[in-house]
Amino acid sequence: MAQESDIDHVVIAGMAVEAPGGIEEPRALWDALVASRELIGSFPRDRGWDVDDLLSVHRHEGWSRVGDAGGFLTTAAEFDRAVFGLGKRDAVAADPQQRVMLRTVWRALENAGINPGDLAGEDAGVFLGASPMEYGPRGSVVHEYSGHRIIGFSTFGMSGRVSHSLGLIGPSVNVDSACASSLTAIHLAAAAVRAGECDWAVAGAVSVMGSPGAFYEFAKLNALSDDGHCRSYADNASGTLWGEGAGVVVLEPESRARRLGHRIYGRILASHHNHNGAGRPILVPRTDAQERVIRKTIATAGIDPATVGMIEGHGTATRAGDPVEIRALQNTYGEAGSPALLGSVKANTGHAQAAAGMLGLTKLLLSGLHGQIPPTLYADTPTTRVDWDRTGLRLAAELTEWKPVDGYRYGAISSFGAAGANAHAIIAMPACEENGDV
């Protein structure tokens, strides 16, 4: 068995984020989390949505009320096409998710100390999560942008657009495992770097809604928040609240990061993903499946689960999802008498769907960097659907000092997809690394 000193860990050497409320950098997100700011706004009126119809959809029998609220990116339409070498028609035909992802990757590279304009021929991988969001007219409609849409309107165009723009020649992979897309992309990217399939990689995910379809779907399922708040793990949670966002991290072997003088936000000790399997409706989450992926990740990481001080959960604020997730965490980390604090960035930003895991990972990395665990909104009324007294697991109700264990802060993060995908990762963040600010 290899000794710890012999392992060349895959590390996170750079990051970038976009979140609701005009947030375009990690520092701004951290400030919002520490201040317990809710980054929710009204529906955008510049996307051609029939907002009046959406707000009155409860007129149909069996549909729940939709509030005028969500976590929307305020700069989703902004894009400097010249920086990325896109012609005018290509830029307009490109799904906003592609445009947001291009600039987020650029910022993550700069954050890592890498010049994005000098990467042509680099054996670097691109692993990105995204979901179709119904941008633009149907492909069968003759339009002035016909011919440009084959890439611009496609999910598969995401990673290819980034690789092409930067001149990267490593693997270029798009991931769609619904709300587990972010952590799945991280998992695949880290595995590729470990296996030598590429020298380093960028991984991340994005969500920009081209239509309000997700609100209609969850209103029909009666799983949408009825008061415009995403009350993760709270007793008065009424459903999820959709949002948008983007996040990217730069992954590379630790030896490379240290040789090049890159900052190290954290080591990816382990990550895994699985599926619920058959037996229940596809939308219904399962404690046993989530527990399996968590136990496997803990085993691969080779750590005592009691050392994990922060768990960034999925926390959809649905009556079915939150209790299932908490029970899985109690059966794994809670069994070790863990003092871990549980929270979810969704309470601040809404549920950013494919990008939800990236917003959560950014929060986790920032918490490790600053040595503090920010409060989760609405944690003062934890759900009564689980027995909190049988474990040491608690909701993060206030800003709390995060003490390191043997020089590291160990954190975990979970994401689960609507079609049954589950993903989990464990990150070790150095407490003494002189990373400076972000």
Catalytic residues, which ones?
A: 179, 314, 351
Residue 83 near residue 226 (C-beta atoms within 8 A): no
Q: How far is CA 341 from the centre of its chain?
A: 19
CA dihedral 216, 221, 226, 231 (to 10 degrees): -110
Distance CA 321, CA 180 (A): 14
Distance CA 253, CA 256 (A): 5
Alpha-helical (H) ranges within 249-341 are: 254-259, 287-301, 321-330
Rg, the chain, Cα only: 21
Distance CA 348, CA 32 (A): 8
Distance CA 410, CA 431 (A): 10
Adjacent-strand bridge partners of 395: 342
Measured in degrees and rounded to the nearest 5, phi and psi for residue 166 equal -95, -10
| Distance (Å) of CA 297 to CA 164, 272, 302, 327 | 34, 6, 9, 17
Other CB atoms closer than 10 Å to residue 171's CB: what's the count?
18
Angle at Cα 310 formed by Cα 305 and Cα 316, nearest 5°? 110
Quick one: which H or E segment has residue 152?
helix 149-152
Do strands 266-275 and 421-430 pair parallel, antiparallel, or not at all (unpaired)? Answer: antiparallel
| Distance (Å) of CA 81 to CA 17, 126, 229, 399 | 19, 20, 35, 40
Other CB atoms closer than 10 Å to residue 15's CB: what's the count?
27
Angle at Cα 241 formed by Cα 173 and Cα 58, nearest 5°? 120
Q: How far is CA 275 from the centre of its chain?
A: 18
Distance CA 385, CA 297 (A): 26
Residue 57 near residue 83 (C-beta atoms within 8 A): no
Which candidate, 284, 285, 396, places its Cα nearest to that of 347? 396
Adjacent-strand bridge partners of 341: 310, 394
Single-letter code of the amino acid located at 23: I
